[in-house]
Structure 1
Amino acid sequence: MPVRLPGSGGWAGMTTLALDVDTVLDRLDELASQRPVAARIVATSNNESAGAAELAAMLGADVALAAKVMKLANSAYFGLSGRVTSLPFAVTVVGFNTVRSIATVALAGLDEAAALPEGFWDVSVHLAAACGALGPSFQQTTADALCLGLLAQLGAALMHQADTSGYDELVATTDLGAARFSAETDRYGLSSPQLTAEALQHWRFSPAMVTALREVPGGQDGALVRTAYELTARMLSPGHRRLRLDGLSRHRVPESQAATRIAGIRADVAALRAALGLS
């Protein structure tokens, strides 16, 4: 599915780039072949009949993945520090979607990638914490919302792999959030969360999760992640040109709550960093 843009000018004087989404997804499949346990977990957690014991048995075949799930389950973020002593219990604590998201990070090579966009994991952890904190306001569980934030930047990593110098320039000259989505769309034909949605659809994630990412730039179902991007930008970029939370969230998160929300998210970021081995 090649995406070709009209004209030759592009955004901010940059030339446009034909991004072939099918080729990007084929490369992901090549990476997936190198992580068979992660691939099995992603495939199996689609199956509603799969239980925690079955998923835990698969995890046990990949020590690194199992350790991450155990560490997360025992983290301050989930409030069970030191009390989770088995993989089946850990899977139950963090939830199938979280296990699947951790496996997807490994499947896409993000945990071992030598070159990622500037600040990739800093942004991803803040987005995960922000989505988790905001989730209940959007009728999402904290764990499921966290997964949206954790995976949202996958598309940014894929754009960076396809166009390293161009994407580095784009990141350096745009604000995180709406301005960057617009620049990505001008250059590649879609935004990074929308490219993430294509990848997750390819791996048969739930339609609700795919839609939530596909609609980040402006659709109703993208309001949670869109609001999380705005709060993340405020935390990471002091000069960020703010957009009101009321409009971004479809009035689920009033602007008057911004300071309180950010304080809580900062605390969650610290817990998640430690749990994911990023501190």
Structure 2
Amino acid sequence: MTVTPLPTRDGTAPVFDLEKVLASIDTMAAQRPVAAQIVSVANSDDTSAKALSQILASDVALAGRVMKLANSAYFGMRGRVTSLQFAVTVVGFTTVRTMATVALTDLDDEARLPENFWDVTTSLALASSALAPRFGERPQDALCLGLLAQLGAALLNHNDREGYAELVDDNPDFTARRLAELRRYGINSVRLTAVALEQWGFPHSMTSRLNQVDDFTSLEGGLLRSAFEVTARLTVEDYDTVPIVRLSCGQVREDDLVPVLDQVRADADELRRAMLGDADPDPYID
């Protein structure tokens, strides 16, 4: 699929080639073999926490992030997770796979990402998790949905840095931004995320929620749609709110958002630190 984007302000219009963009992910994966292996095996029925933790231990930085997340306030295990195998059990295989996907696609390198990428991503993840029960979803699965939702935005930014920066600047509203992405690239960032995750064998239950986010009649897309609304209220200056009842297909009311907004504000910094990690090995890794 090759799409010719609309011109940027300086008149240039780089060719957007979806196959090339997806192939670039495979190139990144080759540079992070442990993360790529985790993405491959974490969804296998015969993979155990012990086997997954043994693979994970080969990437100290990624293992440290899993340990930090397991010991975070989100999982309520502050300081009690002292082995990597236990950490894998606490956060779950889907979360480990999500964190490995973040690593192998360079989402932990903020210099390569759109502005405020992680402010938006942590808000999306925590809002999705907090709202998940209202849509009959598991909070941990919803957390992963939110953490990966912006993968497509990172890929668009990497492929067309100047043009995508202009697009983001011109469209602070997420819904309007996705429409602008579709006009410019022939695909929006959330749909591009779904395509990438489909390529890696992520479950349909995750990719279908991404694909339905802009269908306002779809309950399946309601969780992520609602999470984007929470995120916009927290991150977009002078944002004109959209009624959450409409976005959520009646599953969430305005009063329900008060504790959600408070929780996202309270936990965002810690989740960001856990996902991005630091250069020092985690002292809990054995």
* Band the TM-score falls in, shorter-chain normalisation: over 0.9
Between 1 and 2, higher relative CO (CA 8 Å, sep ≥ 6) is seen in 2
Q: Which residue of 2 aligns with 1:73?
A: 70
Quote how far apart the aligned CAs of 1:119 are: 0.6
Superposed CA deviations along residues 173-195 of structure 1, whole A, max 9, x for unmatched, are: 11232111111111111211111
Structure 1 unpaired stretches of 5+: none
Instruction: Report the secondary structure of 1:178's partner residue.
Output: helix
Q: In the alignment, is residue 45 of structure 1 matched against residue 45 of structure 2?
A: no
> Could you tell me the TM-score, scaled by structure 2's length?
0.90
Q: CA deviation at 1:13?
A: 11
Tell me the residue number matched to 1:269: 268
Give 1:107 shift.
0.9
Aligned to 2:20: 23
Larger displacement relative to structure 2 (27-36 or 136-145): 136-145
Superposed counterparts of 1:1-279, under 5 Å: 1-3=1-3, 18-112=15-109, 114-218=111-215, 220=218, 221-277=220-276
**1:138-197 deviation per Cα after TM superposition (whole angstroms, max 9, x unaligned):** 111111100011111110010011111111011111123211111111111121111111
Alpha-carbon contact 1:37-1:59 (below 8 Å) kept: yes
Q: Percent identity?
A: 48
Whether contact under 8 Å (2:71, 2:77) holds in the other structure is yes
The CA distance in 2 between the partners of 1:148 and 1:101, in whole Å, is 9
Change (3 A) 1:14 1:248: farther
Conserved? CA contact 1:159–1:167, under 8 Å? yes
| Aligned-pair CA distance for 1:250 | 1.1
1:20-50 deviations in Å (ceiling 9; x for gaps): 2111000000010000000100000121221
Runs (5+) with no aligned partner, structure 2? 279-286
Q: In structure 2, what is the Cα distance between the partners aligned to 1:192 and 1:59?
A: 29
Which stretch shows the higher mean deviation, 15-24 or 60-69?
A: 15-24
Matched with 2:281 is: none
Change in Cα spacing, 1:55 to 1:165, as seen in structure 2 (3 Å) is same
CA distance in 2 between partners of 1:14 and 1:194 (Å): 26
- How many residue pairs match? The answer is 276
Provide the rounded CA distance (Å) in 1 between the counterparts of 2:10 and 2:183. Answer: 11
Distance 2:136 2:232 in 1: 23
- What is the root-mean-square deviation of aligned Cα atoms in Å? 2.1
User: Counterpart of 1:85 in 2: which secondary structure?
Assistant: coil
Equivalence for 2:283: none
Change (3 A) 1:254 1:49: same
State the secondary structure of the residue aligned to 1:77. Answer: helix
